[in-house]
Amino acid sequence: MNRKICKLLTIVLTISLLYVPGCGFGSQPEILHVAIPYSDNIPDIDTNYYINYLEEKTGIDIVVSFVKIESCDEYLKMLFDSGAEIDIVLFGGSFVPGDGVLEEYASRGDIYLPDGEYKYVSEGWDTPAGAGTVLWINKEWLVNLGMPIPKTSDELEDVLEAFKTGDPNGNGIHDEIPLAGSAGEYDLNPVEFLMGSFAINDPYHSRMTADGKRIWADPAYRDGIEYCRGLYEKGLMDKGVFDCSYGQLCEMVNSPVPIVGAFTSSSIGDVIYRGNPEVMARYVHVPPLTGPAGEAYAMIPENKHKIGAIILSRSEKKEEAQLLLDTMMSEEASLIARFGEPGVDWDYSDGKDISIYMTPSTIITKNYIRDVVQNKNLNGVGPMAVPEKYIYGVTWNGLNSDAEYVDARAQMAYMDFFVDPGGELPVGNAELSEYLDRHMIAFVTGEEDVRSDSIWREYVSGAEEILH
Amino acid sequence: MKKRLVKTISAVLAGVMACTVAACGKPAEEDAWLEKACPDKDETAEELYEKALQENILVVYTVSTRATKTKEAFEAAYPGLCVEIRDLRSPDLVEEVEKNYYSGNSDCDVIICNDNSGEFKSRIVDTGIAVPYLPSDIAGKMKDPESNVMGSFTYEAEMLFYNSAKYDECPIENIWELVNEEYKDRIYMPNPLHSFSTYAFCGGLMCVEDELAGAYKELYGSEPDTDGMSVTDYFWKRVSENIVFTNSSDEVLEALGSGSADFGFMVSSKQRFAGLGYDMAPVYRLEPFSGCRTSYSAMIARNSDNINSAKLFIRFLYGESDGKGEGYKPFSTDGTWSVRTDIPDGNDVPLDEIDLFVPDQDVLTENREYLEKFWTGILETKA
C-alpha cells in the first residue's frame, strides 16, 4: 500500500515538474553565458532591472560572469586561449578592446560576425561626440587673481604663469599645478588641445586630413609643439603629465585643496568624481584658443563606432545570442540601457521643456543613475543604439554639478571651432600614430629638440617611411 | 528705535511660527521638535558651536553654488563641524524638501532658496516645512523687516543684460524695443517654468501692467492692440518670438560671452563673472523696468536633527552679529545687495537707482495655474 502511494506520488510529481504550465517539453529557457566587466555600481545582477527585462523579452536565461581583470585585451587573450564557457562578451567603460584587437581575433575566426560586420555597437552612452577634448580651467583661481578666461594661446600662458606664481589657492605653498594631464588618452593630454591653436589636430586619424595632408609635417604643427615645449620648460605644464595615470590625474583634480589650474577631457565627468559639487563648481570650459596665426580648432573626435558586444564563434547558441543582442539594440532596450527604468528613472517629454542642448526636450530624467550605484541597467556596458533625438533631447536635472549639463554647454561653445573634414577621414595608421605620439612627447619634454631643423627633418622622414 | 524694530521682527517671526503650526495642525512630535528647536531663542555663536559639536553632518540644500564657499569658510571657522552641500534647482529643491518632510525624512537641515516665485512661500514657508531663524542681534540690523519673514539674507535681481562687446552702451531705452525683429534669436532667457527668479519676473509683470502699457504708449504713441490679450501676455507673446530659452542663467551668461546673444535676462549675481571676460553689462535704466528684485532665503528645515549646527550656519551666512563674518562674503559680489544696514552692498549701483519692481508673491501664487498654462503655450510654439 505504502509503495503504491509512493509510486503514485512520484509519477504525479514527475509529471507536474515536466508540465510546467505554459512551458511544455523542450521549452526550458536557453542559457546564455555573458561576460560583463565587474562594476561596483551594479550591486545585484540577479535583480537588475535591465537584465530581467531582457530575460523576459527574449525568454533567455542570462548567466552573468563578471570579469574582474581590468584590461580588456588581457581578458580576451585569456578567454580565447581557454575553453571558458562564454557566449557573449559585453564591453563598456574602460573595458574596451584596443585598436585592432577584435579584428585580429575575427581574422582567426574566434569572433562570430553576423552579416560579416560588427553590428553590436554602443551609441548613446558617451557624451555626443562634438569636441574631442575640452579645456577646463579653475575659474576660482582666475577670480582670485583678477584674470579673465584666456582667449588666445598667449593669454593662456600668462594665466598659467599666474597660477604658478600667484598662490591662487591661497595656502602659502607653491603646490599649484597650472596645467595637468595624462598621456593615456588623447583627450586627457593637454598638448592635444593646445595644438588646436596652431593646426587642425586629429590624433585619432594619424594627424592627417581627408585630402591626405600630413598635419604632422606642417610648420604650424611644429610651432604648436614649440609652444607646448615652452610651457613644459617653464613648468607651466605638469612635468609628470606624460607619466601621470588617469587615476592620478583624477586624484589631483579632486583634491580637497585645489591644486590643479586646468586640465583637458572630453567629459568633465570623466575626471571629476560624481557627487562632488564643490570641485565641479571650480571649473569652467574654455573655448578653443586663438593661436598666433589666428587659428583656433576643436580637436576632431574619434567618431568611431564603439563595439558594445561580440559573440564568440565557439558559442553553440549563436541564434539565441543574436536574439539577445538584437533586443539590446532595440529602441526600448537602448533607452533602458541609457536612462534606466521607464516611468521611474525617466519619462518621455512632451517637448515643452528645454533640453541640455537647448532643443525641445524628448526625455525627462527623474533619477540620475549614470555612474552611481544603481540596479537599473549596466551603467553603459553593452550594445545600445539610442536614437539621436533622445541623446540630444535630455532635460537638465537641475543640478549645477550635472556633468552632462556641464558637458553640453562646453560642446555648444566648441561648435563654431569644428572644421569640415571635406571628405572621409583616413583610417588611423597604428604604427604611424605611435611614432607621432612618441615624438610629440619627446619634443615637448626636450628629449628631442623641436627647434633643430635636422632633427625635425629626421622626424618627418621617419614618419614618411612608415607611410611608404 | 532699534529695540522697537527687533521687537517688531520677533513678533512677526513668532506670528509666522504660530500661524504655520496652527495652520498645519502638526502632530505632537513635531510640536515637540519646534519646542526643542526654539528658533526664537537667543543663543550666542559660542553656545551653538558647543552644542553643534555633538551633532551630525549638516546637510544644506541650496540653489546657489556660492554656498560651497560658505561651507568651506564655516568648516574653517568651526573646526569639528562638517557640512554637506546638495545643489539643486529651485523647483527641485522645493520638491525634495516637501518629499522629505511628508515622508518623515530629516535629510535636510538648512534650505537656501530663491524665494520669489510664490512657490517657496506657499509650499514651504506657509506650510511650516521651513522655519525662519533670525537671532535678534542680527534682526535689528535688517533693512526691511518684512523680508525677514522669508529669511532673506541677500537681495539680487532678475534683470536684463546686454552684450558689451557688441554695444558700447545699451542699445535700447524701452523694454518694448526687445520685440524688434533685429533681435530675433538674439535674446536669451531661462525657461520661466524652471527658474523661480525668471518666473517671478515674467509673471510679476502682471502686477505692474499699467507701467508696461504706459511704456508702449511712450514708445509708439498709442495703446497696444493686444487682440484681447492682457498687455503682459501680449508683451511676452511678442518678445518670446525673439527669445532663445535656456535652462539656467549660466547659459545666458555664456551666450552673452560668446557673442551669440545681444541681450539676456539672468540673475544679477552672474555679474560677478564679468571679470572672467564675459562681455556683458547690466541694464540699470529701462522704461519701465529692466527686471525685478529678488532675494534668497535661508531657513531651517523642519525636523532637522542638527538644529544647533543649522542655526550656527545661518548666523554665519548672515555675516554673524557684527556683519564681518566670512559666511556672507561669497554672496557679497557684483549684482547683489545687502539686506543689512551694517553690510555694504556688493553692487556699486544701489537698488533704488535701478528700474526694478518687486513682484507680489501672492499674485504669483494665485495665478500660478494660468501662468503655467500661458508659458507652456509659449514654449510649445518654440518647439
Cell of B196: 523661480
CB pairs under 8 A between A and B: 80
Q: CA neighbours within 13 Å on the CB side: how many for A283?
A: 35
Q: Are residues B217 and B259 in the same domain?
A: yes
Identify which of A148, A278, A351 has the shortest CB distance to residue B277. Answer: A148
Residue A445 has pLDDT above 50, yes or no: yes
| Higher-pLDDT residue of A249, A21 | A249
Q: How confident is the model at residue A229 (pLDDT cuts 50, 70, 90)?
A: very high
d(CA A168, CA A142) in angstroms, rounded, equals 8
Q: Say what the pLDDT of residue A11 is.
A: 47
Q: Say what the pLDDT of residue A414 is.
A: 92
Q: In sequence order, what DSSP letters do the residues of B58-103 get, joined into one string?
A: EEEEES-TTHHHHHHHHHHHSTT--EEEEE--HHHHHHHHHHHHHT
Q: Say what the pLDDT of residue A7 is.
A: 52
Q: Say what the pLDDT of residue A364 is.
A: 87
Q: Which residue has the cell 555633538?
A: B54
Q: Where are the beta strands (DSSP E) in A336-451?
A: 346-348, 363-365, 384-385
Residues A7-12, mean pLDDT to the nearest whole number = 48
Q: In sequence order, what DSSP letters do the residues of B250-292 get, joined into one string?
A: HHHHHHHHHTS-SEEEEEGGGGGGGGGT--EEE----BS-SEE
Taking CA atoms, A201 is separated from A209, A214, A444, in Å, by: 9, 11, 16
- Residue A346 in contact with partner chain B when CB distance is under 8 A: no
**How would you write the pLDDT of chain B (383 residues) with one tens digit per residue?**
333 333 444 444 444 443 444 344 454 555 788 888 888 888 999 999 999 999 999 999 998 888 989 999 999 999 999 999 988 888 889 999 999 999 888 889 999 998 788 888 889 999 999 999 998 899 989 998 776 778 899 999 999 999 999 999 999 999 999 999 999 999 999 999 888 899 999 999 999 999 999 999 999 999 999 999 999 999 999 999 999 999 999 999 999 998 999 999 999 999 989 889 999 999 999 999 999 999 999 999 998 999 999 999 999 999 999 999 999 999 999 999 999 999 999 999 999 999 999 999 889 999 999 999 999 999 888 76
Q: Say what the pLDDT of residue B29 is.
A: 54
Tell me, yes or no, whether B360 lies in a domain: no
Residue A367 has pLDDT above 90, yes or no: no
Tell me, yes or no, whether B289 lies in a domain: no
Cell of B75: 568648516
Overall domain count for chain B: 2
3-state secondary structure of A307: strand
Tell me, yes or no, whether B176 lies in a domain: yes
Per-residue pLDDT tens over the stretch B25-84: 454 555 788 888 888 888 999 999 999 999 999 999 998 888 989 999 999 999 999 999
Q: Are residues B81 and B192 in the same domain?
A: no
Helix (H) or strand (E) holding A65: strand A61-67
d(CA B332, CA B155) in angstroms, rounded, equals 10
d(CA A159, CA B162) in angstroms, rounded, equals 27
3-state secondary structure of B362: helix
| Contact in structure between A224 and A152 (CB atoms under 8 Å) | no
d(CA A296, CA A195) in angstroms, rounded, equals 9
Tell me, yes or no, whether B313 lies in a domain: yes
Identify which of B68, B248, B251 has the shortest CB distance to residue A281. Answer: B68
Q: Are residues B31 and B138 in the same domain?
A: yes
Give percent above pLDDT 70 in chain A.
94
Question: What residues does CATH 3.40.190.10 cover in chain A?
Answer: 31-124+305-391, 134-300+403-467
3-state secondary structure of A118: coil
Q: Are residues B248 and B182 in the same domain?
A: yes
| CB < 8 Å to A351, chain B | 380, 383
* Packing angle of the helix pair B231-240, B209-220 (nearest 10 deg): 60
| CB < 8 Å to B87, chain A | 277, 281, 399-401
Dihedral in degrees, nearest 10, Cα atoms A353, A359, A361, A365? -100
Q: Check CB contact under 8 Å for B65 and A409.
A: no
| Contact in structure between A393 and A361 (CB atoms under 8 Å) | yes
Tell me, yes or no, whether B359 lies in a domain: no
A31-124+305-391 folds as D-Maltodextrin-Binding Protein; domain 2 (3.40.190)
Q: Say what the pLDDT of residue A351 is.
A: 67
Per-residue pLDDT tens over the stretch A57-111: 999 999 999 999 989 999 999 999 998 999 999 999 889 998 889 999 999 999 9
Q: Are residues B170 and B151 in the same domain?
A: no
Amino acid (1-letter code) at residue B223: E
Taking CA atoms, what residue in B is nearest to A351?
B383
Distance from CA of A392 to the nearest CA of B (A): 14
Distance from CA of B261 to the nearest CA of A (A): 13
Phi, psi of A418 (to 5 degrees): -90, 150
Q: Which of A59, A107, A102, A123 is nearest to A319 (CA)?
A: A59
Distance from CA of A223 to the nearest CA of B (A): 27
Q: Where are the beta strands (DSSP E) in A154-250?
A: 177-179
Q: Could you tell me the residue range of the domain that residue B31 belongs to?
A: 2-155+294-353
Q: Check CB contact under 8 Å for B275 and A148.
A: yes
| Contact in structure between B75 and B85 (CB atoms under 8 Å) | no
Q: ∠B77-B78-B81 over CA atoms, to 5°?
A: 135
The CATH number of the domain where B26 resides is what?
3.40.190.10
Tell me, yes or no, whether B254 lies in a domain: yes
Q: Are residues B189 and B89 in the same domain?
A: no
A82's CB contacts (< 8 A; 6+ apart) are none
Residues A334-360, mean pLDDT to the nearest whole number = 89
Q: Are residues B143 and B84 in the same domain?
A: yes
Q: In sequence order, what DSSP letters do the residues of A77-117 get, joined into one string?
A: HHHHHS----SEEE-BTTB-PPTTHHHHHHHTT-EE-GGGS
Distance from CA of B51 to the nearest CA of A (A): 27
Taking CA atoms, A299 is separated from A115, A231, A303, A356, B10, in Å, by: 34, 19, 12, 22, 60
B297: alpha, beta or left? (left if phi > 0; alpha if psi -120 to 50)? beta
| Contact in structure between A407 and A127 (CB atoms under 8 Å) | yes
Distance from CA of A139 to the nearest CA of B (A): 8
Per-residue pLDDT tens over the stretch A120-166: 999 988 777 678 899 999 999 999 999 999 999 999 999 999 999 99
d(CA A179, CA A161) in angstroms, rounded, equals 10
Cell of A62: 542570462
Q: Say what the pLDDT of residue B6 is.
A: 39
Q: Are residues B24 and B106 in the same domain?
A: yes
d(CA B361, CA B367) in angstroms, rounded, equals 10
Q: How confident is the model at residue A27 (pLDDT cuts 50, 70, 90)?
A: low
Tell me, yes or no, whether B193 lies in a domain: yes
Q: Are residues B179 and B70 in the same domain?
A: no
d(CA B119, CA A26) in angstroms, rounded, equals 61
3-state secondary structure of B135: coil
Q: Are residues B321 and B176 in the same domain?
A: no
Q: Which of B344, B340, B335, B330 is nearest to B283 (CA)?
A: B335
Tell me, yes or no, whether B366 lies in a domain: no
CATH superfamily of A134-300+403-467: Periplasmic binding protein-like II (3.40.190.10)
| Contact in structure between B176 and B242 (CB atoms under 8 Å) | no
Q: Are residues B129 and B185 in the same domain?
A: no
- Residue A278 in contact with partner chain B when CB distance is under 8 A: yes
Q: Are residues B8 and B141 in the same domain?
A: yes
| Contact in structure between A35 and A89 (CB atoms under 8 Å) | yes
Q: Say what the pLDDT of residue A424 is.
A: 79
Report the residue of A284, A397, A400, A416 to disrupt the B interface, i.e. the one with the largest count of B CBs within 10 Å: A400
Q: Check CB contact under 8 Å for B251 and A409.
A: yes
Cell of B121: 512661500
